[in-house]
Each structure stands twice: as structure tokens, then as C-alpha cells.
Amino acid sequence: MNIPLVRLLSLAAVACAAINWDVYEYGVVPSFQWSNPFPSDGTDPGGYDIHCKASGTFHARLYKLRDLPLEPPLGLAPWEGAISDFISRRDYPGSWDGVDHKGLDREVVVMEWVDVPAAVRDWIEEQQRDESEANDKKWLFGVFEKPRREGEKVHGTVPPRPTAPVGSAGSSSSDLHNLAKYKSRVIEHGVLAWPVDHTKPDRDKGQRDMTFKIQAMSVSESEDGKRARLMWEKLHRAIKRNERRQQREERLKARKEMEEGRVKDEL
């Protein structure tokens, strides 16, 4: 079955050794908490022992919400209603680097389902099998069928398979195939990943095609990294304790001044 994947951008990408000026021009959604774990000069991240690394470049199409009513390839008219409903029930997670172009300029990435790595497909379906209301609003990938005939409209997402296939890539526990190991911050052992580069379609020429590159590393915290982390965590706790102490002292001082003022008024 030929199914496109529509993804609301939840992760960011910035060209290596470059600045994403959209961050400064448009701002970032408040909920975006991720950051690029890889140095912009191409070196390995500090504080980790690197076990293995891999990268891959993927083809996609990048649309703006204003493109939804347009017919393909410029827009997503057959899926307009389904996508609009999907978006309306979720907070916008931000575009590359969490950028929020706001309004109809917000972006949607579309990939062919067959182009999505098998481990990611399994992970998406695993999320979708949890039908609780809280989870339904968290997963940010919508899978939609293609129209079977011209003019047909798609009204909803494709339900996931009841269970993951035996021996699927997503159920593997080895390194980069196990998406459960992907972390924004690794303390013991895990995987760091980031869209380290992406192109932009030339919209003035009616283009929507783009590519993005994902880099991933299986890492474990080094002894030096652990010492540095513990030092900063200790410093952070000390700063927080000092802030709380100052706040208590200020409250006590304010209370004392109020009591002394009340006594003077009574006299």
C-alpha cells in the first residue's frame, strides 16, 4: 500500500557550521527543549566514548500550511481536512531548530512511507497503538493513505498494525536500531541523534522537494564527562539552594517589616 507520511516537525536542523537565522527572526516555540548535541565543526561531542556512528540523507517535501488547499504537487488538497484535524489536536512542535513561522507559514514535512526507515515506522506505529487521549496528543506523525481515484478526499489517519511484526527492526535492542535508546542527554549509554543539515525548496519556482541529513552516535558517558557533569550538577544545586535561601530571607524580612509597621500604627 503506497502511503505518504505527514510529519509535523518536532526536531530541528541547521546546516553544519552555519546559523539558522530563522531562529532570531521568527522565534522558537516555547515547548522546544532540544539542542544539537554535535559540535558545528564536525568533531565528536565531548564527554562521551563513541562506540559507533552513522548518518543518512532522506528525501522529503516541505509544505507550508497555506499550501494545504492547493492541488499536488504544489499542495496537499486531498489531505487538507485530515491534516487540519490532526494539527488542531496537537501543539505545534516547531520547525527546524524549533522555529515558529506562525500562522499559515508553519511547515509540514511529507515523506513516502516506504522511504521512512523500518525502525522508525515500527516506532511510529508503537506510539499510535496507545490510544489514550494523553498519548494521542503527543505523537506527531500522521500516516495517511493516498487517494484511490482523482478527486477523492482522505479523512483520517491509517490505523497501525495490531502488533509489531516478529523480528522487526524497531524491536531490535542493538545500538542505532533501538529508538528507545535515543536521548537528548546521555548519562550512561544511549544514542545521540540530530538533523545536522537540510535543504530548502525553491518555492518561487514551485518546488517542494528537499533533503535532510540525520547523524546518530551510540555513546556512553566517559569518566571525564561524568566528573564534569557531577561538578555542574553540584554547582547547579548550590545555586538553587542559595536562591531559595535568599527568597526565604526576603519573605521573612517583608513579614517583619509588616509586623513592625502594624505595631507602630497601633501605638
Asked if 20 contacts 196 with a C-beta cutoff of 8 angstroms, the reply is no
Q: Which amino acid is at 226?
A: K
Cell numbers linked to 238: 548550590
For residues 213 and 195, the answer to whether their CB atoms sit within 8 Å is: yes
> Average pLDDT, stretch 226-236?
89
Helices (H), the chain: 22-26, 80-88, 118-129, 133-136, 223-266
Spatial distance between the Cα atoms of 49 and 126, rounded to a whole number of angstroms: 30
Which among 193, 178, 186 has a CA at the least distance from the CA of 12? 193
pLDDT of residue 104: 95
Higher per-residue pLDDT: 179 or 242:
242
Confidence at residue 33, expressed as pLDDT on a 0 to 100 scale? 83
Q: Are strands 48-64 and 141-143 parallel, antiparallel or unpaired?
A: unpaired
Q: What is the pLDDT of residues 56-85, one digit of tens each?
A: 999 999 999 999 999 999 999 999 999 999
Average per-residue pLDDT in the chain?
84
Model pLDDT, residue 9: 40
pTM: 0.76
Q: Which amino acid is at 4?
A: P
Cell numbers linked to 133: 487521549
With cell 535561601, the residue in question is: 245
Q: How far apart are CA 83 and CA 62, in angstroms?
A: 14
Q: What does the pLDDT read at residue 204? A: 94
By mean pLDDT, which of 26-35, 138-147, 155-164 is the weakest?
155-164
Distances (CA, A) of 262 to 69, 247, 251: 67, 23, 17
Query: What would the pLDDT profile of 4-62 be if each residue is shown by its tens digit?
Result: 555 444 333 333 335 778 888 999 998 888 888 999 888 899 999 999 999 999 999 99
Phi then psi dihedrals of residue 74, to 5 deg: -80, -25
Phi first, then psi: give them for residue 180, nearest 5 degrees.
Answer: -65, -20
* Residue 170, CA distances (Å) to 117, 119, 127, 149, 185 in order: 9, 4, 12, 33, 21
Q: Decide which of 245 and 164 is more confident.
A: 245
